[in-house]
Amino acid sequence: MEGANLIVTGGCGFIGSNFVRMVLTELPNCRLVNLDNLTYAGNPKNLADVENDPRYRFVKGDICDAELVASIFAEEKIDTVVHFAAESHVDRSITGPAAFIQTNIVGTFTLLEAARTAWQGRDDVRFLHVSTDEVYGSLGETGLFTEETSYDPRSPYSASKASSDHLVSAYHHTYDFPTLITNCSNNYGPYHFPEKLIPLIISNALNGKELPVYGDGKNVRDWLYVVDHCAAILKVLQQGVFGETYNIGGNNEKQNIEVVQTVCDLLDEKVGLLSSGETRRSLIRFVKDRPGHDRRYAIDAGKIRRELGWEPSVTFEQGIEQTIEWYLNHREWVEEILSGSYRDYYAQQYGER
Ligand SMILES: NC(=O)c1ccc[n+]([C@@H]2O[C@H](COP(=O)([O-])OP(=O)(O)OC[C@H]3O[C@@H](n4cnc5c(N)ncnc54)[C@H](O)[C@@H]3O)[C@@H](O)[C@H]2O)c1
């Protein structure tokens, strides 16, 4: 990948921004275009530290805009696609699924077509589609998702991601198109938008607000530090076999309530108890469960470990500590989001507490 010309979609989001930063560090001779239309979840400030890098170009635009995408492929001689752009929040997909269909399905199709048209006859190109373990549905008490697990998406979000995965695989089978798919478990870490569980809890707990936990709090997720996810994607991009899917996971199964309690305890330790003298666990409130809330996800990441030699570099305990430190050192980042347009949505979803 020396001298690669990449297009990264959704690079102003949570995982995309961490990935852009990693690529610019790890691949000194690359050139990278970040195509992002800055939805509520996209924040160009996530990449403020690289915006003057001459190898980096930001294009504000929609992945569904076929003309724009084709022009970027031509102007920048794109040979590598890393596709993150998506509507990514399950709750929003329940209240407003249309945007998920448009961006996640039609947007992925638009990118595939642009790449297929631009790359005819080339064998030095690759298209990596970033997806989720949620396409596999929900697990009982035991078992793990492998790359062979049948798809069984349950939310409009996971159904739209499943659909985009199928399109990507179909391009490989139909056109011998050089695809790679990664299906990853829940990420956490720096630049995570504060509507998702961990940053929401950190932000509320710091401000002494209630900590909403769905249902009985016993839903289980596998958690992966975002930097480890980005390293896995880079590895798949460099060494993955076209047409293959790689599951990526942290081997860190936790109940939601355990995650929330860990954040509370770490914050009590780092910044002291609440002004009332109570611990932050006292802020936990169980709220009505999300409709169709999948009970458990767990990933078998054996294939990427065996075939590409990737493993997570941090445990959940290390990663969550680093994440909390990051949020403590970047409080203005969260405050700016919460005081902007996101606030109305936040108030509607969780009430002004
Ligand atoms: N967050 C997770 O835990 C997780 C886990 C596994 C897989 N994924 C996948 O990783 C990808 C990135 O997730 P994230 O959490 O960083 O999401 P995010 O919501 O933080 O970021 C999405 C980015 O895509 C941009 N975007 C949305 N629609 C667009 C469009 N039509 N055109 C151009 N840009 C658009 C947004 O502005 C934003 O910058 C998604 O595809 C998601 O399905 C996420």
Question: Residue 342: pLDDT above 90?
Answer: no
pLDDT tens string 304-324: 999 999 999 999 999 999 999
CA distance 313 to 247: 16
Q: Which of 133, 165, 195, 253 is catalytic?
A: 133
pLDDT tens string 44-78: 999 999 999 999 999 999 999 999 999 999 999 99
Test site for ligand 1: of 14, 101, 184, 316, most ligand atoms within 8 A of the Cβ: 14
Tokens of 184: 């990853």
Q: Is 298 in the pocket of ligand 1 (CB under 6 A)?
A: no
CA distance 120 to 113: 11
Region 245-259 average pLDDT: 96
Tokens of 36: 């992002």
Q: How far, in Å, from the CA of 16 to the mean position of ligand 1?
A: 7
CA distance 200 to 282: 16
Active site residue 76: no
Residues in the chain: 353
Burial class for 244, CB neighbours closer than 10 Å (0-12, 13-18, 19+): middle
Whether the Cβ atoms of residue 247 and residue 303 lie closer than 8 Å to each other: yes
Region 134-157 average pLDDT: 95
DSSP state of 150: P
Structural domain spans, the chain: 5-191+224-251+296-314
pLDDT of residue 309: 98
Q: Is 190 in the pocket of ligand 1 (CB under 6 A)?
A: no
CA distance 43 to 188: 17
> How close are the terminal C-alpha atoms of the chain, in Å?
49
Percent with pLDDT over 70 in the chain? 96
CA distance 333 to 49: 14
pLDDT tens string 74-107: 999 999 999 999 999 999 999 999 999 999 999 9
pLDDT of residue 1: 84
Q: Counting atoms of ligand 1 from 1, which one is nearest the CA of 85?
A: 24
pLDDT of residue 31: 98
CA distance 129 to 285: 37
Q: Is 192 in the pocket of ligand 1 (CB under 6 A)?
A: no
CA distance 220 to 206: 24
Q: Is 99 in the pocket of ligand 1 (CB under 6 A)?
A: no
Region 36-41 average pLDDT: 94
Conformational region of residue 138, where left means phi above 0, alpha means psi within -120 to 50, and beta covers everything else: beta
Region 285-290 average pLDDT: 93
Conformational region of residue 333, where left means phi above 0, alpha means psi within -120 to 50, and beta covers everything else: alpha
Q: Is 93 in the pocket of ligand 1 (CB under 6 A)?
A: no
φ and ψ at residue 315, rounded to 5 degrees? -80, 170
pLDDT band at 352 (very low <50, low <70, confident <90, very high): very low
Region 239-247 average pLDDT: 98
pLDDT of residue 351: 53
| DSSP H helices in 54-155 | 66-76, 90-95, 98-100, 108-118
Tokens of 212: 């909403």
Output the average pLDDT for the chain.
94
pLDDT tens string 175-185: 999 999 999 99
Q: Which of 36, 87, 134, 294 is catalytic?
A: 134
Region 265-277 average pLDDT: 97
Q: Which of 36, 79, 136, 157 is catalytic?
A: 157
Neighbours of 29 (CB within 10 A): 9
Whether the Cβ atoms of residue 298 and residue 143 lie closer than 8 Å to each other: yes
Active site residue 327: no
Question: Residue 348: pLDDT above 80?
Answer: no
Question: Domain 5-191+224-251+296-314 belongs to what topology?
Answer: Rossmann fold (3.40.50)
pLDDT of residue 336: 87
pLDDT of residue 339: 82
Active site residue 134: yes
CA distance 178 to 313: 28
Q: How far, in Å, from the CA of 151 to the mean position of ligand 1?
A: 20
Q: Counting atoms of ligand 1 from 1, which one is nearest the CA of 15?
A: 16
Considering only CA atoms, give the Rg of the chain: 20
Q: Is 37 in the pocket of ligand 1 (CB under 6 A)?
A: yes
247: three-class secondary structure by DSSP: strand
Protein residue closest via CA to atom 26 of ligand 1: 85
